[in-house]
Amino acid sequence: MIQKPKGTYDVTGKLGLEVRYLEKLFASIMEKYNYKYIRTPVFEASTLFHRGVGETSDIVKKETYDFKDKGNRDLTLRPEGTAGVVRSFIENKMYADSNQPIKTWYMGSMYRYERPQAGRYREFYQIGVEVFGDTDAYTDAEVISIPVNFYKMLGLKNVKVMINSLGDQESKEKYRQALLDYFKPYLDELCDDCKERYQKNPLRILDCKVDKDKEFFKNAPKTIDYLNEPSKNHLNDVLKYLKAMDIEYVVNPNIVRGLDYYTQTVFEVEAFMPSLGNQNVLCGGGRYDNLVKNLGGPDTKGVGFALGMERLLEVIHNENIELDKEEVDIYVVPMDISCKDKVASLVQYLRLNGFVVETDYINRNLKGNFKQIDRLNVKYIAFVGEEEISKNIIKIKNNHTKEEYQIKFEKLIDFLDDLEVDDHEENI
């Protein structure tokens, strides 16, 4: 038997319903924010990630799926969504659009060659947002509010927003020097990767999984102490807007994020769920004011985040949150095989009028149909037999109260509308 590749999973059955529910809920939130959907390729030129996400991040250095296609091009399966969206922003000249800022959202699979464990896959699904333009701290707060609102609407209880600032380029450079000075005496004690990080990007030392528990890490300089005035003001403004939005947060100087492109605000939303271990970060993001320029575009600021589906689903299951409200409005029962054309026409008519309709596909007898109705969450049953056809009526039964009605075919939709049968999407 051929099995799925390591670190991947299938979405089937109940999981399929849950995933679709989450995607629809997120899409409906994005409509309210007036963000526009964007879809970019799953693979891109390798240099995009190696230049954009940063040569010194583990994600790019060790975890990308790189390959050559038959035309000898160097391609990479995207390990994250931002670089592709930025590439698209530049290539499609979205910066020239008079309607600024450009507010986008996306969802799709990402690929990282990591050690699979709870909440960590090699193919995983992210939903994310990127905003481009000359935006101020309000946008950082708005972007943070999106996953917060999403989790709130889902009823998640134990989630916490962690926020930090890396500062602007000037502050980042001052901080970089402070890290170099601090870690110099400990160079021999750092792991081989960190020795390299020390040379290329000392900030990355701080999220080293090997060294992070070493005693001398505890007193390492904190980004927040190296912010210049404009950066401090930016952070304070973000916090002010979060307060105004009634969003709770913790300023956590240890948040540096795993990708190289961030400036100023960085944030994560964490779940308190011991079984997820270190994989309890549900969502991460921040501001990247230099990335568009670094990738060859005009000097344009950006803010964004990405959240993972798998960890979210783990929390949803752990908190026993029921998402899948699978409901069938009407199950149409053919009383005899000779009536199937009338059934086909009725099913088509009802679906075109917006109802969720099920019917008999495998020529069950009446008892078999009732058994199937018991398996599904059916609101109304419609019976179509010779007698009904000859009288041009449909027999309808409320599957919960067992009340029965005989309705003229032409009156059927009005009748069902009056009963508010198709109210199942109202929560979304």
21 binds ligand AMP (CB under 6 A): no
Smallest distance from the beta carbon of 114 to ligand AMP, in angstroms? 5
253 binds ligand AMP (CB under 6 A): no
231 binds ligand AMP (CB under 6 A): no
For ligand AMP, the binding residue among 52, 167, 221, 284 (CB under 6 A) is 284
265 binds ligand AMP (CB under 6 A): no
* 100 contact partners, CB below 8 Å, separation of at least 6: 132, 133, 134
112 binds ligand AMP (CB under 6 A): yes
Smallest distance from the beta carbon of 257 to ligand AMP, in angstroms? 6
133 binds ligand AMP (CB under 6 A): no
The smaller minimum CB distance to ligand AMP, of residues 38 and 306, is found at 306
The smaller minimum CB distance to ligand AMP, of residues 59 and 333, is found at 59
Sheet with 393-398, edge to edge strand ranges = 357-359, 328-334, 378-384, 393-398, 404-408
For ligand AMP, the binding residue among 60, 102, 266, 282 (CB under 6 A) is 282
The smaller minimum CB distance to ligand AMP, of residues 60 and 357, is found at 60
In terms of Cα–Cα distance, which of 312, 263, 305 is closest to 129?
Answer: 305
84 binds ligand AMP (CB under 6 A): no
Asked whether the beta carbons of 111 and 90 are under 8 A apart, the reply is no
| CA distance readout (Å), 365 to 163, 235, 334, 398, 408 | 61, 68, 9, 20, 25
Smallest distance from the beta carbon of 319 to ligand AMP, in angstroms? 16
> Cα(363)–Cα(387) distance, rounded to whole angstroms?
19
For ligand AMP, the binding residue among 102, 146, 224, 283 (CB under 6 A) is 283
258 binds ligand AMP (CB under 6 A): yes
In this chain, which stretch among 17-25, 206-214, 303-311, 349-357 interacts with ligand AMP, using CB under 6 A? 303-311
> Cα(316)–Cα(159) distance, rounded to whole angstroms?
12
Smallest distance from the beta carbon of 204 to ligand AMP, in angstroms? 13
Q: Which long-range contacts (CB under 8 A, 24 or more apart) does 419-422 make?
A: 419/380, 421/329, 421/330, 421/355, 421/379, 421/380, 422/329, 422/354, 422/355, 422/356
Strand 102-111 relative to strand 123-132: parallel, antiparallel, unpaired? Answer: antiparallel
> Cα(339)–Cα(336) distance, rounded to whole angstroms?
6
Q: Which residues bind ligand AMP (CB under 6 A)?
A: 80, 112, 114, 119-121, 124, 126, 258, 281-284, 306-308, 310-311
